[in-house]
Amino acid sequence: MQCPVCTTDLQITERQGIEIDYCPQCRGVWLDRGELDKLIERSLTVPSSAALGGQRHAAERAEGRAER
**What are the tens digits of pLDDT across the range 24-52?**
999 999 999 999 999 888 888 866 555 55
Q: Is residue 56 part of a domain?
A: yes
pLDDT at residue 37, as a whole number: 93
Q: Is residue 23 part of a domain?
A: yes
Q: Is residue 5 part of a domain?
A: no
Eight-state DSSP code of residue 46: S
Closest CA to 19 of 35, 6, 41, 5: 35
pLDDT at residue 68, as a whole number: 47
Closest CA to 12 of 48, 42, 47, 3: 3
pLDDT at residue 49, as a whole number: 59
Q: Is residue 48 part of a domain?
A: yes
Q: Is residue 20 part of a domain?
A: yes
Residue span of the structural domain in which 18 resides:
11-67
Q: Is residue 27 part of a domain?
A: yes
**Number of domains present in the structure of the chain:** 1
Q: For the segment 3-24, what is each residue's pLDDT rounded down to a tens digit?
A: 999 999 999 999 888 899 999 9
